Each structure stands twice: as C-alpha cells, then as structure tokens.
Amino acid sequence: MKKLIVLLIVAAFLGTAFVAVAQDKGPAVIKMDRAKMGVVTFDHAKHQANTSDCTECHHTEGFETCSSCHRKSDSKEDVKKYKKAIHKNCKDCHKALGKGPLKKCSECHVKAK
C-alpha cells in the first residue's frame, strides 16, 4: 500500500512538472541590445497572443533563441547570418500581415539618448 501511495505522489509531481514546462512560453519581453542601430525590444507575449503556433517564428523543435543557431560567435559572418535571419523572420511576417513596423529602422531599433 505504501508503494502505491509513493507511486501516486511521484506521478502527481511529474505530471505537475510537465504542465509547468508546457506552460513556459519564454520571456514576455526580449531585448536585443547588441544591435548597432539601437536596442530592439520585442514584445514576445504580444506576439504569442496573436498565434497558437510557435513554429510560425521558431523553426526548431526546442524553440531555441534565434541566436543559438544563427549567431554562434561575434564573427562578422555569424552576426551577418543572425541579422539576416531576424530581419527575414520579422519583416516577412509584418509585410504579409500588413501591420507592425514596416518602413523605418527606427520603428524597431531605438538608440539610447
């Protein structure tokens, strides 16, 4: 009987842990502060509210950050790949939807005063 109770407690704990992990949708706001043109503040929560499919932006199963694949180092080539990936993902979606920042760099990039 004790083994059954322990087993049920362990199962309940693991079930709760899986639910918590499933609900973790990453940070609400992401700041990309290494951009030369100025800080880009990305409202991750707002974008999540507009879609139920994370793969619209994340094209990997683990939903890694863009920089985890597209910017392995600070080499010019890696920075270029990262910038291209970010711009393509964001700009293409905004153009397709016809809303959000579309025309000026400063709509996303904010220089410190």
**pLDDT 10s digits, 49-70:** 988 888 888 887 788 888 888 8
Fold of 27-110: Cytochrome C3 (3.90.10)
User: Distance (Å, rounded) from C-alpha 40 to C-alpha 62?
Assistant: 23
Cβ(76)–Cβ(58) under 8 Å?
no
At 110 the pLDDT is 93
Place of tokens 């153009």: 95
pLDDT at 13: 59
What is the pTM for the complete model shown? 0.67
pLDDT of the residue at 61: 76
pLDDT tens string 69-80 = 888 888 999 889
The full set of domain ranges for the chain reads 27-110
